[in-house]
Chains A and B, each alone.
Chain A
C-alpha cells in the first residue's frame, strides 16, 4: 500500500462517541477480483451487529479482516480507538508490525464455522491455552476462569473430553468459552451454526443469546439464521457485491426493506425455509 493513501486517516480515534470497531474505506481484493469495495462500517461499544447476504457478498471477509486472517488492500481498520492494520508513526500511519498487530488483536475473539478446537487438547486445556501462554495468567486462575466459562456454556461436565468425543454443538460451545477466556472486547461469530445439525443449533444460539443479555460485549456475527439474527441484533447489515446494500434495525430491514436486492434476498430466504 502506498503511504500517501493514508494521509486522511487519524492515528487515533478519540472522544466518548468513538466506535469500538471502525472500518474506514477498507478495500479487499484478490488480483482483479474485488471482494470488498471501500467499506465504511462502525460498530458501537456493546452493539450486536449481524451481517447477512448471499454467498460471495464478502460478509465473512469482514470478520476475517478484523481477526487479521486476511490482509487488506486499502483503508484502515480501528479497534477501540487504535488502528489495527496500521500503527502511528509521528502523526502519520504506517503499516503495522507484528508486535502492534498482536497487541491490538488481543481485544478480539472469534468463533469459526468449523469450530477449530485443538484436537489434541481437552475442552479445559483448549480454554486455558491462551490465558496461560498469551496473557501469562497463573495456571490456577486460568483453570478457575475456564471452568466458569465452560459452566456458563453448559459444558462443565465435559471439561476433560477431547473434541473428537464431543458433538458439533458441544464443540462450538467449547469454542465460545475458549474465545471468551481471552477476555476480548469484541467477539466475532463466523457462521457458527452452519456446520451443525439442525437439532443442536439451539444450544449454540442460546449461549449467544445469553452473552447478549448478560454481557456488554461488542459482537459482529455472520449467520444464515434469519430468525435468530432478528431476535438478538441491534443492527442488521445486508451485504451485496462487496458493499453494504442496506442496513438498519431488524424491524426496518426485515419488515420494511427499501432496496430491491434486499427484498429479493429476503424473499429467496423465506422460500427456502
Chain B
C-alpha cells in the first residue's frame, strides 16, 4: 500500500533543505524581535500608571488568545489599506514577532516578579538609577528563571513558522505545497517536512535544557 519513492525523495531534498534555511531564518528573526519586544511589553506593565498597565495587559491577552494565522493575514492585508505595502517576509516577521513577544512578556513578567525585593532595596541604597537597576541588577536575575519558558517558545516559534506559508513566505511548508501541486505527490514532501521538523525541534529542546543548566552554574546560582 505504501508507495514511497526514494528517488523522488532524493530529488526534492535539496529544495527542502534550502527551504529549511528559510524556516530557520524566519524562526530566528521572529524570535529576535519577540525577545526584545517581549521585554518592552513586560516592562511597560511595570510603570506607575495603572491605566497604562491595564491597556498593555489587555493587549497582550488579545494577542495571546487570537490565532497567529489570522494575525498574519491581518498584518499582511490590512497594512496596504493604510498605504503601507509589506513584503510577505516583513508582514510575517511583524506578526510572528508580536505574537511571541506577547508570550515572552508573560515569561519575563514571572522572572521579574521572582527577583527578591531586597535587590531593589540594595539598588536604592547604592543610589542606582531605575534604568541602571533594571539593566544591571533586576533583568540579569530575571533571566535565568525565564530561560525554561524562553526555550519552550523558541521551539514554539520554530513550529509555527509553517503558518507563514499562507502569505507566501518560501519556508518548508510553502515549498512542500509547491512540490505537491507540481508533482501531485504529497506523501514524500509532507512526510519529509515532518521529519525535518522533528530533527530540528527535538535536538533544540534538548540543547536548551543543557544550556539552561550551564547558565545557572555560570551565573553562580543554584
Chain A interface (Cβ < 8 Å from any Cβ of B): 67-69, 102, 105-106, 108-110, 112, 114-120, 129-130, 133-134, 162-165, 175, 178-179, 182
Contact = CB atoms under 8 A, between A and B. Distances in A.
Nearest to A163: B220
Contact of B119 (A102, A116, A130): A116
A21 to B, nearest CB: 15
Contact of B222 (A69, A130, A164): A164
Contacts of A165: 220
Given A120-B219, A164-B221, A129 B136 contact: yes
A118 B137 contact: yes
Contacts of B136: 118, 129, 133
Contacts of A163: 220
A162 B141 CA distance: 13
Contacts of A102: 127, 129
Given A119-B220, A133-B132, A164-B222, A182 B119 contact: no
A22 B119 CA distance: 27
Contacts of A108: 125
B126 A134 contact: yes
Nearest to A111: B125
Contacts of A69: 121, 124-125
A134 B128 CA distance: 6
A120 B140 contact: yes
B111 to A, nearest CB: 13
Given A116-B121, A117-B122, A120-B140, A162 B128 contact: no
- 9 smallest CB-CB distances across A and B, nearest first, come from A162-B220, A116-B122, A130-B126, A116-B118, A110-B125, A120-B140, A134-B127, A106-B127, A164-B220
B121 A105 contact: no
Contact of B141 (A115, A120, A133, A164): A120
18 contacts: A68-B124, A69-B124, A105-B127, A112-B122, A116-B119, A117-B122, A118-B137, A118-B141, A120-B219, A129-B126, A129-B128, A133-B136, A134-B127, A164-B220, A164-B221, A175-B122, A178-B126, A182-B126
A56 to B, nearest CB: 19
B157 to A, nearest CB: 27
Contacts, number: 71
Interface of B: 116, 118-119, 121-122, 124-129, 132, 136-137, 140-141, 219-222
Contacts of A179: 125-126
A267 B132 CA distance: 47
Contact of B122 (A118, A120, A162): A118
A106 B128 CA distance: 10
Nearest to A98: B130
A108 to B, nearest CB: 7
Nearest to B138: A118
Given A133-B132, A179-B126, 20 more contacts: A67-B125, A69-B121, A102-B127, A102-B129, A105-B127, A110-B121, A112-B118, A115-B118, A116-B116, A116-B121, A118-B119, A120-B219, A120-B220, A130-B127, A134-B126, A134-B129, A134-B132, A164-B220, A175-B122, A179-B125
Contacts of B222: 164
Most buried by A among B119, B124, B128, B222: B124
A68 B125 CA distance: 8
Contacts of A134: 126-129, 132
A118 B142 CA distance: 12
A115 B122 CA distance: 8
- Name the residue in A120, A163, A164 with the highest tally of chain B Cβ atoms < 10 Å from its Cβ: A120
A179 B119 CA distance: 14
Given A112-B118, A116-B122, A130 B220 contact: no
Nearest to A108: B125
A108 B137 CA distance: 20
A212 B54 CA distance: 50
A97 B119 CA distance: 23
A155 to B, nearest CB: 16
Nearest to A188: B125
Contact of A67 (B119, B121, B140): B121
